[in-house]
Amino acid sequence: MTTQTQVQESQKAPGRGMTAVAAAVLWALAGTAGAATAPKVVSGPTPYRVSSDCAVCHGMRGASTDYDVIPRLAGQHKAYLVMQLQQYRDGHRADQNGNIYMAPVAQSLTNAQIDALASYFSAQRPRMQASGVHHAGAAAGKAIFTNGIASEQIPACMACHAANAQGMGTFPDLAGQRYRYIVQQLTYFHNGTRQNALMGQIAKNITVPQMKEVAAYLSSL
């Protein structure tokens, strides 16, 4: 069975083929059907750093405020949140907003604090939900997400993020995520501002209109 370490390594190792990675992830997803939608229970005290730092942009429960380039965190996978906070802290995620806003906050976090924050936000309900705002191109975006565009060497997003876009482990839940945040991050992956071996290969051929179509679909879920 695919392990968490193998999934993380697949995101980091540029020499591995995307087809093999996608097959491994799909096999793992098949063995955990329904896990992404299992009910989550909020438990334990709210970590101090939520109110002192995180809530300013993300809100107390990770639903985020009115800034539409700030991601929703409620119900996101704990493993993904841990990985991203560690990357911000250690300087391995250097996209523009990350450098300005997240890096200064994450620099002082211990591993225990990162674990507590990730546990807290991953347990919040309800999970990410569609905003009700509909953007043009959702149907085309669904086709790209589900099937990719073979002629343009754009693989299907669902190979890693699952058919319901809720991902698993270090592959983030994208269903109901904010439209502008998705477009922004796809742009970062496309131009190399946000470094990720797997996503860099996937996004390098995608156009801006196609980014918007995929974002329109995902934000509508």
* Residues 81 and 118 sit within 8 Å (Cβ to Cβ): yes
CA angle 118, 167, 58 (to 5 degrees): 40
The predicted pLDDT at position 44 comes to 62
Those residues with Cβ within 8 angstroms of residue 86's Cβ, 6 or more apart along the chain or in another chain = 92, 111, 114
Compute CA distances 67 → 54, 169, 178, whole Å. 14, 26, 10
The predicted pLDDT at position 3 comes to 40
Give the homologous superfamily in CATH for domain 48-122. Cytochrome c-like domain (1.10.760.10)
Residue 80 in tokens:
């993904």
Where exactly are the structural domains of the chain?
Answer: 48-122
Mean pLDDT, to the nearest integer, of 109-126?
Answer: 96
For 170-197, write each residue's pLDDT tens digit. Answer: 999 999 999 999 999 999 999 999 989 9
| CB under 8 A, 24+ apart: contacts of 18-24 | 18/155, 18/159, 18/198, 18/201, 18/202, 21/159, 21/160, 21/198, 22/155, 22/156, 22/159, 22/160
pLDDT-above-70 percentage for the chain: 80
Give whichever of 21-25, 104-108, 129-133 has the largest mean pLDDT.
104-108
What does the alpha-carbon distance between residue 124 and residue 171 come to, in Å, rounded to a whole number? Answer: 18
Mean pLDDT, to the nearest integer, of 66-75?
Answer: 91
Owner of token pair 């591995």? 16
pTM of the model: 0.80
Mean pLDDT, to the nearest integer, of 133-162?
Answer: 96
